[in-house]
Amino acid sequence: MTYCVGISLEQGMLFASDSRTNAGVDQVSKFSKMRVFEVPGDRVIVIINSGNLSITQNTLNVLQQTINHPRPDGRHLLNVTSMFDAAALVGEAMREVQSRETPFLAGIDASANYIVGGQIRGEAPRLFMVYSQGNSIESSLETCFFQIGETKYGKPIIDRVVNRQTTLVDAAKCILISFDATMRSNISVGLPIDMLVYETDSFRVKAQHKIDEDNNYYLQVHHQWSQGLRELFHKLPNPDWL
């Protein structure tokens, strides 16, 4: 299991993914689930993924290989003219890998999901979620974030805090709390967290940071959030029927 979040705001975009994968309680490993395709001044495309590790890694390798060795139609992530086309390429690459590998997986789940976001010169920033079937949906003013993987524990805090007008700084804090809540309730999600921040119309990555168990800021947020929740809980009024 994993947990990934992508948020599209007026100020820019923020992406985060954990690095834990497991094939049983005695086989836990760490793999980055974030890949960045950047041409400074022209485009930033961020892909984060959940699901079958072999499928997701091979999909990203196909996308990279297509850049180095273009196919007959010439399309790849560094020359498409819209983020919609970039999301479509991710879906196509995943279907290619699944069709090649699934017959040999002996019933192993070959599903995968992706969050694809960023900005290509000539259009506004855009955020997509690509389903395991290869089709996608785009974020909207009403739904400005996507989650994939173990989503249920981290969703309530994002629902309460984040909207299109939220600042990048507040969104970063919210995402860390969202991950903290998820890791507290599900051991299959774990540090380090890969986090990337992109500012609208900058066409370059603003910040990319790996947050591990020794990160002082994360530890501060973790402790203050837990303490604050306990203090707020004790301040709530008692039910008048007891």
The confidence score (pLDDT) of residue 22 equals 57
20 pLDDT band, cuts 50/70/90, is: confident
Task: For residue 118, list its beta bridge partners.
Answer: 45, 126
Average pLDDT of 229-242? 95
pLDDT value for 23: 47
The pLDDT value given to residue 28: 53
Model pLDDT, residue 29 = 60
The predicted pLDDT at position 107 comes to 83
The arithmetic mean of pLDDT across residues 17-27, rounded, is 65
In one-letter notation, the amino acid at residue 57 is Q
Report the DSSP pairing between strands 20-22 and 28-30. antiparallel
Please determine, for residue 133, whether its predicted confidence score (pLDDT) is greater than 90: yes
pLDDT at 190: 87
The structure tokens listed for 234 are 């004790």
Percent of the chain past pLDDT 70, that is, above it, reads 96
**Is 120's pLDDT higher than 60?**
yes
Residue type at 62? Answer: V
Return mean pLDDT, the chain: 93
Taking the model in full, what pTM does it have? 0.94
Between helix 216-235 and helix 168-185 the angle, nearest 10°, is 80
